[in-house]
Amino acid sequence: MICDDAVARVRLIGGEMLEWSDTERDGSPGAGVLGELLRPLLPSGARVLVAGPHPAALLDEPVAGACELSVLLRSYSDACRLAEQHEVTVYCGSLEKAAFSEGFDVVIALDGVERLMSFDHAGSSWAEALRRLVGMLAPGGTLVLGVENPLGVHRFAGDPSEVHERADDDWAAAELDQSRPVNLEQLTDLLDGSGLTLGRSYAAYGHPSGPHLLLDVSALETASAPTALAVAACAGVFGTPPAGYDSRHLCRMAIAGGLGARIATRWVVVAHAAGGRSATTPVALTMDADAAPYWRLPCELAPAARGGWVRRARGDRTLRVSGRVIRTPGLLDGPIPEGRFLAEILMAACTRNDVVAIREVLGLFLWWMESQGADGKVPGWTAFAVADNVIFDGTRFALLDASWQLPGELDTDVVLARVMRHFAVRLLDSGQWHPWSWQLGTDRLTLTLLSMMGRTADLEIVRRGAELDAEIDADLAGSREDGAQDGVSGEDRPVQDEAVPDEPGQEEPGQPGQGRGAPGRWRESYRELYAARGRLRAKLEEAQQKITVLERDLDTAEAKLLKAVRAVKQAERRDERIRSSAGFRVGRVITASAAALRPVRRMFGAGPERGAD
């Protein structure tokens, strides 16, 4: 129940939506790197307006900076809930009704402008909403605006069913608004036309509602852009869905072709009104894409003097421990490795049925892993050398994130089983094509990969690898050293190997609302259908090959039969020629007489024989 003091801090301005909530959907941007971006933009004592639904954690930055904070929301229930959590002034209503006597030093609209207008004013254009936000700035004020890219990587690599889904707040077709920018150039022109001076423009990668990587657009134009981090941000959220294009390959090719900003999931721009001074903001910021809140570490990226990029952890750099898993923030500091992920290389080889390439890469990976230890033991950090965290540049392997480790040493066979099983799970779950039988389960596929690597293993080793994987996943879900759990949203929950229910509509444990008809259930159903299609295709090709072999055998048998028939006919014709000759007739007469005398010989020859008896 909301207290009276919280309700008193909510001011109704008109156009408020009483029976509506924008927090029921996962549409607001996650705090993450966005909070790190806001920190240098919020001077102490500044008047700050947060326009639109944002996560409560994002409001901690202006509150910690002793700013005079105000929030504009269209939902009355959201406004009351926010006023109860933070002692801030909340204006509830539509953007068209908002009128302030004094401008704001900073206006934050990272969620965009679409959810600032109520359904009573749905006819307002995107450009008009932007002009209203700009009008709320004080002289020299700063606007921090986020805009979702309608042609981002999430549109190509996402679930195709999402294209046909329409939520309750989609009462206006945003794609029909001609004033809405569809690329960064149009957004820049709109800001210039509003009298603002553009500061940094960021391309955001990861989930559109909570990006995990902010990269200055100008950095994407260089050949040394941190492609690996952008690929990791996309893969950590979208994985490798069969519904569309592989997000890793699409992101890598776009950045290599100078189109990195055009396929970003979101753009974040910092613009200043006349007389304002540009604050120094980082060139790039990143945060873990699939880690629980306790484990997340924001990092700042900067171009290195000799090429490439260097990374440095920001914020709390204390050691993080949960169970046996340890994370050392200081190990993130240093150069970022360049190359392709091991998972990318293996996936591409599987698609081509290139078993030779898979065996060669796995052999090199085995040599690298064994070189890290001795006597059948390897360091604890090798347990995190999974295919999604290992980068190969053609000559050497390196970890993208080397801050994870387990204490002591581990058996090499168990670690390799954990690493290969981790990839096998991802491969089978993705539904991607691979050169092995579709009837292979996770354990059998793990054994196949280990044998191709050159290791002899059995199901007992695979079982121990699975136990190690389950232990690590359980510790990664922990939020404190004692193993307590933080509340983690659906999009922020660490990726785990969960069983898919056998019956359609059956809810998974711990996944409420994922029953029949839910978006998550449809995503699983599509993946299952795609995988079933692959299995049926493989079986059909196998049956077709058997039919081809049988047809070839049948043709061979028919040819032999025709040859035998011709031989029989030739023999019959030869017999006919012999029977019609004069010699055959003379011989026939002689043999016929002898045949006639045969009974007489038998009769006379039988008497003595009987007498002898």
78-115 residue pLDDT tens: 888 888 888 888 999 998 888 888 899 999 999 888 88
Nearest of 506, 412, 423 to residue 454 by alpha carbon: 412
Confidence of residue 262 (pLDDT cuts 50, 70, 90): confident
How many angstroms separate the CA atoms of 120 and 101, rounded?
A: 24
pLDDT of 534 over the 70 cut: yes
- Given a contact cutoff of 8 angstroms between Cβ atoms, the answer to whether 232 and 387 are in contact is no
> Which tens digit of pLDDT belongs to each residue from 567-596?
999 998 888 888 788 777 777 777 777 777
List all residues 6 or more positions away from 441 whose beta carbon is below 8 Å from its beta carbon: none
Tell me, what amino acid is at 526? Y
Average pLDDT, the chain: 80
pLDDT of residue 212: 84
**Which has more pLDDT, 120 or 423?**
423
Q: How many CB atoms lie within 10 A of CB 502?
A: 6
CB 312 within 8 Å of CB 332: yes
pTM over 0.85: no
pLDDT in tens, 24-40: 554 444 577 888 888 88
> What is the 8-class DSSP label of residue 499?
P
111 and 145 Cβ atoms separated by less than 8 Å: no
User: What is the distance between the alpha carbons of residues 551 and 574, in angstroms, rounded to a whole number?
Assistant: 35
Give the residue-averaged pLDDT of 58-73.
Answer: 78
State how far the Cα of 281 lies from the Cα of 218, in Å rounded to an integer: 14
Q: What residues contact residue 230 under an 8 Å CB cut-off, 6+ apart?
A: 205, 213, 215, 251, 252, 255, 260
- Strand 390-392 and strand 340-341: the pairing is antiparallel
Mean pLDDT of 530-549: 83
Q: Residue 332: what pLDDT?
A: 92
Q: What is the reported pLDDT for 154?
A: 78
pLDDT at 363 over 90: yes
Interatomic CA distance for residues 204 and 212, integer angstroms: 7
Q: What residues does 379 pair with on adjacent strands?
A: 409
Q: What pLDDT score was predicted for residue 514?
A: 37
Hey, which bits of 149-179 come out as E strands? Answer: none
**Maximum Cα–Cα distance across the chain:** 151
| β-bridge mates for residue 433, sequence order | none
Mean pLDDT of 155-176: 57
pLDDT above 70: residue 436: yes
Average pLDDT over residues 470-488: 63
Judged against a pLDDT cut of 60, whether residue 333 lies above it is answered with yes
Q: Give the list of residues 6+ apart from residue 499 with CB closer than 8 angstroms, or none.
A: 508
pLDDT surpassing 60 at residue 168: no
Q: Which of the residue ranges 67-71, 219-223, 450-454 has the most confident prediction, judged by mean pLDDT?
A: 450-454
Mean pLDDT calculated for residue range 337-361: 92
**Half-sphere exposure (Cβ direction) of 308: Cα atoms closer than 13 Å:** 10
Residue 263 pLDDT more than 90?
A: no
Beta bridge partners of 495: none
Taking 80 as the threshold, does the pLDDT of residue 141 lie above it?
Answer: yes
Confidence of residue 235 (pLDDT cuts 50, 70, 90): low
Which residues make Cβ contacts (< 8 Å) with residue 129, sequence separation at least 6?
95, 113, 116, 117
Cross-strand bridge partners of residue 311:
301, 334
User: What average pLDDT score do residues 489-512 get?
Assistant: 37
Q: What is the mean pLDDT of residues 328-346?
A: 92
Q: What are the phi and psi torsion angles at 145 (to 5°)?
A: -120, 135
Query: Residue 66 pLDDT > 80, yes or no?
Result: no
| 233-237, 296-300, 446-450: range with lowest mean pLDDT | 233-237
